[in-house]
Amino acid sequence: MDIATVVGLVGAFGLVVWGIMLGGSLNEFWDAPSAAIVMGGTLAVLLVSFPMAQVMSLVKVMKKTLFATPQDPGAVITKMVRYAERARREGMLALEEESEEEPDQFLRKGLRLAVDGTDPQLLEKILETDIGQIEARHKSGKAILDSGGTFAPAFGMIGTLIGLINMLSALEDPSTIGAGMATALITTFYGALIANAFFLPLATKLEVRSGEEILVKEMVIDGIMAIQSGDSPRIVEEKLKSFLSPTQRSVADDAKQQAA
Amino acid sequence: MDIATVVGLVGAFGLVVWGIMLGGSLNEFWDAPSAAIVMGGTLAVLLVSFPMAQVMSLVKVMKKTLFATPQDPGAVITKMVRYAERARREGMLALEEESEEEPDQFLRKGLRLAVDGTDPQLLEKILETDIGQIEARHKSGKAILDSGGTFAPAFGMIGTLIGLINMLSALEDPSTIGAGMATALITTFYGALIANAFFLPLATKLEVRSGEEILVKEMVIDGIMAIQSGDSPRIVEEKLKSFLSPTQRSVADDAKQQAA
Amino acid sequence: MDIATVVGLVGAFGLVVWGIMLGGSLNEFWDAPSAAIVMGGTLAVLLVSFPMAQVMSLVKVMKKTLFATPQDPGAVITKMVRYAERARREGMLALEEESEEEPDQFLRKGLRLAVDGTDPQLLEKILETDIGQIEARHKSGKAILDSGGTFAPAFGMIGTLIGLINMLSALEDPSTIGAGMATALITTFYGALIANAFFLPLATKLEVRSGEEILVKEMVIDGIMAIQSGDSPRIVEEKLKSFLSPTQRSVADDAKQQAA
Amino acid sequence: MDIATVVGLVGAFGLVVWGIMLGGSLNEFWDAPSAAIVMGGTLAVLLVSFPMAQVMSLVKVMKKTLFATPQDPGAVITKMVRYAERARREGMLALEEESEEEPDQFLRKGLRLAVDGTDPQLLEKILETDIGQIEARHKSGKAILDSGGTFAPAFGMIGTLIGLINMLSALEDPSTIGAGMATALITTFYGALIANAFFLPLATKLEVRSGEEILVKEMVIDGIMAIQSGDSPRIVEEKLKSFLSPTQRSVADDAKQQAA
Amino acid sequence: MDIATVVGLVGAFGLVVWGIMLGGSLNEFWDAPSAAIVMGGTLAVLLVSFPMAQVMSLVKVMKKTLFATPQDPGAVITKMVRYAERARREGMLALEEESEEEPDQFLRKGLRLAVDGTDPQLLEKILETDIGQIEARHKSGKAILDSGGTFAPAFGMIGTLIGLINMLSALEDPSTIGAGMATALITTFYGALIANAFFLPLATKLEVRSGEEILVKEMVIDGIMAIQSGDSPRIVEEKLKSFLSPTQRSVADDAKQQAA
């Protein structure tokens, strides 16, 4: 669970609700037709913009990358070193058993390929292709979220224009202008809110998390190839640590000492 | 038929119509001169911006890439494997007959070139040049749609300025301000609507579909060259599957088993 | 004469004039001081932004690339093939006569260099340098038009601010607000109109036309070098056709058959 | 202490406070709920956009690069030359003592690696990796500040919309419009102010300072490698001066003569 | 003196003053606190954004590149050819005397290095480093001017918000709204004016002039290296002319004939 994402979303929407209730009531800010135009309209043009399958997979991508806790690179190193030790002691075939219990799908696939004696170059190509697919999925997810951040305010403005034109055409009693304007502005408010408190920040987080996830996957590939080529556990560790920043490295060292 | 595009367009415009009718009548939102200024003005500056031939071909490009169902890469592989089998059993010339019944123009051309014994390098160059032309057509189509998405709101604003200036110059009876403002805002509404519910999402879809279409065409080139060089059907299949994502691969496998 | 450019410009400005006259009179939209601030201000800052010589040459560049009909690549091929035939039959020197009657300056220069027996590499370098200069001129022209599209609305806004401040400072008779606002908005209207119906579309067209003109010039260089190296007319034709899209190629073939 | 940053921040906020007090009182511009929505909302969406650790480290990055005086490249050269002299006279091991007193962490690490007889290629790789980490930290810091500069005005607008809708819904006494509008506009004011007087200029300064810091670190790497390879102090000086602009070079020369 | 820059600046500001005086008096447009907020605020955040030294050197860079007449490339060629003739007749040492009278600092430095018999590669490297420093200075100058063009309208808006909030909070006598609004809008006007009539066009001119100045300096390097290697004056001339466009070349030829 990525706590910052949840805290941030709750915080942003909570502050807005609190701000509304200080000076009025939430009722005045809920207007079902306005919500239908802004959210429905945004969803509709996202369907025009992207193939159905990509829009569908967005929910899964977001669940995996935005709300799941990212894999700790240090823990991955510890695990790879353990595999390297076992492979050294008992041979590659001993990893078959490990691969069955490995929860991470990508690492499991890599271990199996290695256990099966797949040619190292082919093994690397297969896993790199998988990374490429994941990257493409993330990139398409970010493009959809960015588009949402552009279209939501646009449909907010379209809704406000509809409200204004309706109100101005029927302008007989000037005392109703206030309420009419308020309703018209609600769609602009919805559009601005979901763009800035939902679509745009999630698009950025998806990009950052994507980079982290791919880094860990690259570490896994390097680790499996090192194990397969018979490197000693110490060398596997050294190779994988070169992926880490100094801070991460010392954290990983601490974790290792605690584990020892 | 790309259902998402149609559903999205119908949904976006339908929601807007529904939103209008909730608070007023459609009549108030139809103003022929406003439509003429926004749509006519946008079309006119697109003609200034792009050569006539490119603007003309946009309709054809859109029909092909936005409303047609994209070719299923799995089906293309199945077909190429069938051709490979026949070529193995009966020789390249047997494909002449197939090429006459092949509905896809690009694949038909490739088959004929292969049957005619065209030099592989020349065959690749000819087909790659065709892909280059298709890509250029898509790119120019996207540029026109993007320009439409920029100029439509601009002419919406120009129309609103005309309406405002006319209204303000003739301001005698303040009670008519409401109706005048409403009419003036209609062009802004038209410009925002056709930019955000038509031009911009279609420009994005065109780009996505273009990438998919070109991927399939690259697969066709690789497949024909493999068949021509006498690869076994199994190798042709392996080569073409490397273009697919894991999900697409398992879908293709299922399709194959069902066909078997 | 590039008809689309003229039709588009006439159409865009015509629609605006028609829109104005539907609801008022053209008189109300003509304000000489407003025009002076928007157009004069834009021109002044273009002079600050670009060297005088570049601003001067813009008119010439626009005349050549925006209103002139672009050279038909098919016609250029036909001409180059004719030169190739004559050079084959009567020798390179026979082209001297042709070069004197050749209306296209760039082709004439190329022919003369070839007739003079200029070293092929030097000939190519000289003509490529000329293309580079033309490209630089087009690029600087596009930059000026794009700047015009940015500064015109800015000066429109500056003019409107002047009008508003003047009107608000002298606000005594509220009934004059309408007329004052109308006059103030005219500069915004001028700025939006000349940016979106003149500067920005012409900048795009200049870029497109520049690409076409340079493609034809590249064809001329390749053609002259092929003729100089003694290629047969058929090979010259094949080489130059590789520059064309399939559609253009079939058009060129039709033209050739009609000529035959 | 980077005086320009401090003077600029104090100046910008001071001018705004002075401008407020000329025409009213600061009290009217302080509204705690508005501040909570703009600042809290911006912070919340920054947490959604970036991993918690990156947001946390921003404060440290800013303290180091924005308020600390950057290292003077001339002083670094003087120091490196002194080290080169000592290494020449007394051997590399004499630098061990120096390294213990060296305040700059990066230079100290480099000296120790050199004293330990680390292979030059490995030494360079280790230090370059450190620079890469610093660069990544600066880049992520700049991305967060830039996002702050985008989200602060957006939450300013969201706050103003809340205020306007609340005011318009409850519009009974038109004489309260003025005060309601004033309060509504305060969030727009806060958003514009912290974006333009805090986030955006600090993002630019961070980028500039990052470039300077990394240049000095590159100088340190080159200097240590030159010392390790036994270059004479004069050559070390020449090598490092090639990093400086002519102005910096003459300043460095003056400093050296004064020191002499 | 670059006349276009001066004419353009005078023209843009003159038109605005004329436009103001047509409908009111200059007095109403002068408000010292507004000017202090826009100009002071912009300067303050430029100090936050860029190191003090870079902001300081901007004035010098602007004086040199925006108001000085750029060096005529034709005149530079004529001069280089003269040096080449003298070097041929009397040997390199004869250029020592010339170098003392040469007004252009960069060319003087190059001549001295050549007279001193500096190794050609070293000579090129030294002069290219100087060009690199000049380019960096221009680039930083353009970045500052571009930032000014972004921050000036932002502080204009901040000033207007201060004015509006002050006015609305104290709204008792509705008849004073006009004057209050007018004063509030003056800062927006100042921001728009100095961004569009000063910062942004000067940023563009600086970029264009920078390209021209560096081209001439590259010519000087090539010329000195040709002279040093003993090229004949004719070859020096040919080499340098390859930098010019055809138009510049014929102008240079005319100049030479007049000189002859």
pLDDT digits (tens, 9 = 90+) for A6-22: 999 999 999 999 999 98
Residue with tokens 């009722």: A27
- Separation of alpha carbons E187 and E156, rounded Å: 5
**Phi first, then psi: what are they for B24, rounded to 5°?**
-175, -155
- What's the sign of the alpha-carbon dihedral D188, D190, D196, D200? negative
Instruction: Select the residue of C44, C49, C157 nearest E205 (Cβ to Cβ).
Output: C49
Is residue B224 over pLDDT 90? yes
Chains in touch with E (3+ beta-carbon pairs under 8 Å) read C, D
Stretch E73-79: mean pLDDT, rounded?
Answer: 90
Kindly list the residues of chain D whose beta carbon comes within 8 Å of any beta carbon in chain A: 33, 36-37, 40-41, 43-52, 54-55, 129-130, 133, 136, 143, 147, 150-151, 154-155, 157-159, 161-171
d(CA C217, CA C209): 12
The per-residue pLDDT for A69 is 75
How far E185 CA sits from the closest chain C CA (Å)?
Answer: 7
pLDDT band at B175 (very low <50, low <70, confident <90, very high): low
Instruction: Tell whether the model's pLDDT for residue C18 goes beyond 90.
Output: yes
Q: Do E24 and C165 touch (CB under 8 A)?
A: yes
Chains C and D touch (3+ CB pairs under 8 A): no
Distance from CA of B34 to the nearest CA of C (A): 8
Q: Note the pLDDT of residue E46.
A: 96
Cα D7 to Cα D14: distance, rounded to the nearest angstrom? 10
CB atoms within 10 A of CB A212: 14
Structural contact between residues E48 and D201, judged by C-beta atoms closer than 8 angstroms = yes
Chain D positions in Cβ-Cβ contact with residue A24 (cut-off 8 Å): 165-166, 169-170
CB contact at 8 A, B159 and C12? no
Separation in Å, CA of D103 to nearest CA in chain E: 24
Helical spans, DSSP H, in D36-176: 41-49, 52-62, 73-90, 94-101, 105-115, 120-169
Provide residues of E within 8 Å CB-CB of chain C. Answer: 2-5, 7-9, 11-12, 15-16, 18-20, 22-24, 28-29, 70, 177-179, 181-182, 185-186, 188-189, 192-193, 195-197, 200-202, 204-205, 208-209, 212, 242, 245-246
The structure tokens listed for B212 are 């998919």
Residue A122: which residues within 8 A CB-CB, separation 6 or more?
none
**Nearest residue of D to residue A5 by CA position?**
D48
Handedness of CA D96, D98, D102, D108 (dihedral sign): negative
- Give C5→chain B minimum CA distance, Å: 4
* Residue B248 confidence (pLDDT) above 70: no
d(CA D195, nearest CA chain E) in Å: 9
Alpha-carbon distance E40 to E31, whole Å? 14
Look-up of token digits 């020349």: B122
Nearest C-alpha in E relative to D212: E51
Contact predicate E214/E134, CB 8 Å: yes
More confident position, C251 or D88: D88
Is the model's pLDDT at A164 over the cut of 80?
yes
A180 Cα to chain B: minimum distance (Å): 10
Question: Over the range E52-72, which residues count as b (16 or more CB within 10 Å of their CB) and which as e?
Answer: eebbebbeebbebbbeeeebe
Chains touching A (3+ CB pairs < 8 Å): B, D
Determine the distance from the C-alpha atom of residue C102 to the mean position of all C-alpha atoms in its chain, rounded to a whole number: 23
Which among D22, D189, D205 has CB closest to E48? D205
Give me the mean pLDDT over the A207-233 stretch.
90
Q: Which long-range contacts (CB under 8 A, 24 or more apart) does C138-143 make?
A: C138/C61, C138/C65, C138/C206, C138/C207, C138/C210, C138/C213, C139/C210, C140/C50, C140/C54, C140/C57, C141/C57, C141/C58, C141/C61, C141/C62, C141/C65, C141/C206, C142/C203, C142/C206, C142/C207, C142/C210, C143/C50, C143/E204
pLDDT score, position D11: 95
Instruction: Look at C45 and E201 and tell me if their CB atoms are within 8 Å.
Output: yes
Cβ contact, residue pair D11, E40, below 8 Å: yes
Instruction: Give dist(CA D238, CA A196) in Å, integer.
Output: 52
Q: Which of A45-54, D52-61, E13-22, E75-84 has the lowest mean pLDDT?
A: D52-61
Q: What percentage of chain A reaches a pLDDT higher than 90?
A: 47
pLDDT at D158: 96
Which chain B residue has its CA at the smallest distance from C26's CA? Answer: B166
Chain A contacts of D129, Cβ < 8 Å?
242
CA atoms within 13 A on the CB side of C185: 21
> Which of residues A162 and D253 earns the better pLDDT score?
A162
Set of chain E residues whose Cβ sits within 8 Å of the Cβ of C151: 196, 200-201
d(CA A136, CA A142): 10
C106-134 pLDDT per residue, tens: 999 999 999 988 899 888 988 998 898 88
Q: What would the mean pLDDT of B25-42 be, rounded to a whole number?
A: 92
What is the percent of chain E with per-residue pLDDT over 70, rounded to a whole number? 91
Give the percent of chain D with pLDDT over 70: 91
Q: Identify whether the C-beta of residue E169 lies closer than 8 Å to the C-beta of residue D182.
A: yes
Confidence at residue C40, expressed as pLDDT on a 0 to 100 scale? 96
Nearest to A44 among B11, B182, B242 (CB): B11
User: Which ipTM did the prediction report?
Assistant: 0.85
CA distances from C141 to C5, C44, C71, C218, E249 (A): 17, 16, 20, 21, 21
Contact between residue A44 and residue B15 where contact means Cβ atoms under 8 Å apart: yes
Whether B47 and C20 lie within 8 Å, measured CB to CB:
no
User: Encoding tokens for residue B151?
Assistant: 């100029």
- How buried is B113 (Cβ within 10 angstroms: 0-12 exposed, 13-18 middle, 19+ buried)? buried
**Cβ contacts of D151 within 8 Å, gap of 6 or more:** A196, A200, A201, D41, D42, D45, D46
pLDDT more than 90, % of chain B: 46
